[in-house]
Amino acid sequence: MVNKFSAKHFFFFLVSYSRYNQNLSFDFFPQSPLVFCKEENTKGVLPDSSTSTRLGDSPNNEDAKQKLDVETSARNIFNNNNAGPFISVNQGGGVQFIPCQQRYDTFTSWPGSPIMQYAVHSSNGTYIVSEDKGQATTGGMSAYQISSPASGHSQAMDGSPGSLPSPQQLTEEASRKRELRLMKNREAARECRRKKKEYVKCLENRVAVLEKQNKTLIEELKALKDLYCHKTE
DNA sequence: ACATCCTACCGTCAGCAGAC
DNA sequence: GTCTGCTGACGGTAGGATGT
């Protein structure tokens, strides 16, 4: 399978394999101008998209909340506007643009398929991205080649371990680190919001108590004033 | 029924502060 | 200097309420 495309600066080339045995863990490249998605080896855990209760609407239903959380995460990942055009490459090599709104739904129609994504940005030529199925590894990264028809240069991207980390390994490592950071920040933001909400609630309660106290004191003052007035008369 | 607005919630980014 | 966690700002989605 060979796909040709043109773009403006060759920026980087990344191949990533999303691994999610129990959790959603996609590698994606928000800065990349093109994100390709390849469907195969279906297997997965994505929840039923028919669940449409908003997260937090059913505070007593932890299962629903958790399920929805995963669903929302998946949706947000696939609908992330920074992710650039989302393109599906089908078995026949055809390329199809997936509108932002449909990414999540499209994904759910491939029940849990590990997603192969490659991001390419080329400067002034057409680059060819090809998959070498013969060198594909099992349970991990497949072997890919990228070549420029102008230079004829071709670089293997097989991800094999060497004495020095390959550019691909470096980018993978960077991608992994980024994902980890994002995940931690996501959790931190969630916790931060929870604490803030708690704090605001606390303040509101205090306001209610103080208002009540104030009202009582005003009434007390009024009663004392009345009493004083009666005495002086 | 559909459009629009509002509210709640989310993930990401950027900037800051503290720890190492 | 780098790393890490926290948090405000921002932009996005979904669901409910309301108007037409």
**What pLDDT does residue A228 have?**
93
**What pLDDT does residue A9 have?**
22
**What pLDDT does residue A190 have?**
87
**What pLDDT does residue A226 have?**
94
Placement of tokens 């060819």 in the chain: A128
**What pLDDT does residue A164 have?**
65
Tell me the CA distances in angstroms from A101 to A40, A53, A88, A213, one per residue in order: 22, 18, 14, 52
Q: Give strand C nucleotides closer than 7 A to any protein Cβ.
A: 5-9, 11-16
Q: What type of residue is A23?
A: N
CB contact at 8 A, A128 and A146 = yes
Q: Give strand B nucleotides closer than 7 A to any protein Cβ.
A: 8-14
Asked whether residue A58, judged by its CB, lies under 7 Å from any atom of the DNA or RNA strand C, the reply is no
Asked whether residue A138, judged by its CB, lies under 7 Å from any atom of the DNA or RNA strand C, the reply is no
Q: How far is the CA of A53 from the C1' of B4 (A)?
A: 21
State pTM to two decimals.
0.39
Residues with CB under 7 A from strand B: A 30, 54-56, 69, 72-73, 76-77, 80, 82, 182-183, 185-186, 189-190, 193, 197
d(CA A17, CA A158): 13
**What pLDDT does residue A217 have?**
97
**What pLDDT does residue A76 have?**
35
**What pLDDT does residue A167 have?**
73
**What pLDDT does residue A182 have?**
86
**What pLDDT does residue A139 have?**
24
> Averaged in consecutive runs of 10 residues, what is the pLDDT profile of chain A (233 residues)?
23 26 29 28 25 27 35 35 33 34 29 28 26 24 24 32 64 78 86 85 86 95 94 80
Going by C-beta distance under 8 Å and a sequence separation of 6 or more, which residues neighbour residue A73?
A: A24
**What pLDDT does residue A48 have?**
28
d(CA A66, CA A122): 41
Asked whether residue A191, judged by its CB, lies under 7 Å from any atom of the DNA or RNA strand C, the reply is yes
Q: How far is the CA of A9 from the C1' of C9 (A)?
A: 31
Q: What would the pLDDT profile of A224-233 be if each residue is shown by its tens digit?
A: 999 999 888 7
The secondary structure of chain A, three-state, reads CEEEEECCCCCCEEEEECCCCCCCCCCCCCCCCCEEEEECCCCCCCCCCCCCCCCCCCCCCHHHHHHHHHHHHHHHHHHCHHHCCEEEECCCCCEEEECHHHHHHHHHCCCCCCEEEEEECCCCCEEEEEEEHHHCCCCCCCEEEEECCCCCCEEEECCCCCCCCCHHHHHHHHHHHHHHHHHHHHHHHHHHHHHHHHHHHHHHHHHHHHHHHHHHHHHHHHHHHHHHHHHHC
Q: Are strands A2-6 and A126-132 parallel, antiparallel or unpaired?
A: antiparallel
Q: For C3, which residue's CA is nearest its C1'?
A: A181
**What pLDDT does residue A163 have?**
56
**What pLDDT does residue A219 have?**
97
CB contact at 8 A, A72 and A78 = no
